[in-house]
A and B are shown apart, each in its own frame.
Chain A
Amino acid sequence: MRRVFGALGGFAAFVALWEGYKAVGAPEGTAVWGVHILPRTDDLSMPHLYTVIQRLGHPELAGGRPIWRVVLDACLFTFGITAAGFAAGVLVGFLLAALMQRFGVIERGLLPYVVLSQTVPLVALAPLVAGWSGRLSFGPYPWQDWMTVSTIAAYLAFFPVAVGLLRGLQSPPASGVELMRSYAAGWWRTFVKLRLPSALPFLFPALRLAGAAAVVGAVVGEISTGTRGGIGRLVIEYAREATSDPAKVYTAMLGAALLGLAVAGFVSLLEIPLMRHRRRVEVNVI
């Protein structure tokens, strides 16, 4: 209940801040030593929030479908791609974590790179992976734009899962591992009955991080590839029209926010049956 209040309260504070600043801020923005540090407050740069809501109901172009439908469709499209990438990333992350737990050598060899990969902007590769579309094919299946986007989402999702799950798999106390040994349980049995359940409190926070990363990867990927039909493309398109139709780009932003929430909600749904009565452990992935 507190969480809902928190979200609502924060949202209310945001609305107050936005409209409040619009009311008192200088129309040309505020400049300190020639650098604009506060934005312009005229309706073109900062439309009233109510205008944005209204815009949702109006058509996209003259005589087209209402914006909220366009945005929603774009969200769904991107959600599908994100989900595909997320699933792939989680799977690979899972396999890698299991491998690293099983073979210490692999852990020592690969983990530094996995951790380092979180400190560098790998998503910068997006425009380069985008170059694959239209030129690469697996047999009869040509590489399509959406696959690029999924790939980018997948490898942004894969790292937090690999690190978080590895920590989780290594978390059972030595006494627990020795107990399984005394039952003559092999690596697989120990993995399934001890390590996996112990890893769950570490896995879900990592999944949430991976989900958010996948969304960012998908949005940036869509922009780099120019994929039509997704929310990333919509944000850029509407941003171009900002001078004539300022509220439009904000509707696209709402869509992007909705996407992020949907993915987070999806992970939380997975969590409910598996994490009842258990505390969560936040693992710092770098």
Chain B
Amino acid sequence: MKWARTVLPPVVVGVLGLAGWELTVKLGRIAPFILPAPSAIWAELVEQRGNVLDAALASGANALAGLIGGTVVAVLAALLTSQARWLSDVSVPFAAVVNALPIIALAPILNNMFDSTSSVPRRLVAGIIVFFPVFVNTLRGLREVDPTHRELMDSYAAGGWKFARLVRLPSALPHLFTGLRQASSLAVIAAVVAEYFGGLQDGLGARITSAAAFTAYPRAWAFVAGACALGLAFYLTTLLLERLAMPWKARS
């Protein structure tokens, strides 16, 4: 019954929410430009499923490219900066400052720097946005070392690279995944929203704006639903990866 306690309330809320939404729109005769009914959105989704899938794949590819690129650079940067105390003390505040800026606003500039038919600007923006949470979290993980582990490895006369390989990297893994969880969602958001700023228009963002421009609101919402599904897929995949990479966290 414990299972019911945790699963039932959100399911009930979800069902009630959808039902309430449907009823309010139908009975209140709310125009679709304000809020389409879930049934209308679903109908559009089914009809447009080919387009939604294509656009989702395009955005997904951009998000993935940004995610992988940004993560690799961030992990390398974290490894480098963790070697020097002063470097890491100085780079964390810098990263925090840059992270407070609307990085997405870089999109138009990047579009200028590259060809207008290039996917690179969107991937770059996603990569930059991904970099910061992964960098900060991985760095934190690399710097925090359990003093008992330190002493133990000292007693084994194992330092330098051995210590990094056997202790630092594995204990930084949970922190890396914390950053990765945030980053995976941010990558999707960046890939979709970057299209609002111009550039190549083959992903979900472009579909949403064009559908809205044609006042085909249920269709626009259908594409939004596709974007949400994409975000969820990324997040869940990251959770799965986490489970696989850290089997010791699962059992306790």
Contact = CB atoms under 8 A, between A and B. Distances in A.
Asked whether any CB of A lies within 8 Å of a CB of B in the complex, the reply is yes
Interface of A: 2-3, 5-7, 9-10, 29, 35-37, 39-40, 44-46, 105, 108-113, 116, 118-128, 130-132, 135-136, 208, 211-212, 215-216, 219-220, 223-224, 231-232, 235-236, 238-239, 242, 246, 249-250, 253, 256-257, 259-261, 263-264, 284-286
Interface stretch (B21-29, B154-162, B182-190, B243-251): B182-190
Contacts of A246: 112
Contacts of A130: 212
A119 B235 contact: yes
A75 to B, nearest CB: 12
Sort A-B residue pairs by CB-CB distance and give the 7 closest, nearest first.
A39-B113, A239-B108, A109-B9, A10-B94, A260-B101, A120-B231, A6-B90
Contacts of A9: 90, 94
A84 to B, nearest CB: 17
Q: In terms of DSSP, what is the predominant structure of the interface of chain A?
A: helix
Nearest to A78: B102
B6 interface: yes
A223 B108 CA distance: 12
A240 to B, nearest CB: 8
Contacts of A2: 89-90, 93
Given A10-B91, A239-B112, A249-B112, A124 B104 contact: no
Interface of B: 5-6, 9-10, 12-14, 31, 33-34, 89-94, 97-102, 104-106, 108-115, 118, 120, 178, 181-182, 184-185, 188-189, 192-193, 196-198, 204-205, 208-209, 212-213, 215, 217, 220-221, 223-224, 227-228, 230-232, 234-235
Q: In terms of DSSP, what is the predominant structure of the interface of chain B?
A: helix
B181 A284 contact: yes
B105 A219 contact: yes
A128 B93 contact: no
Contact of B6 (A108, A132, A223, A232): A108
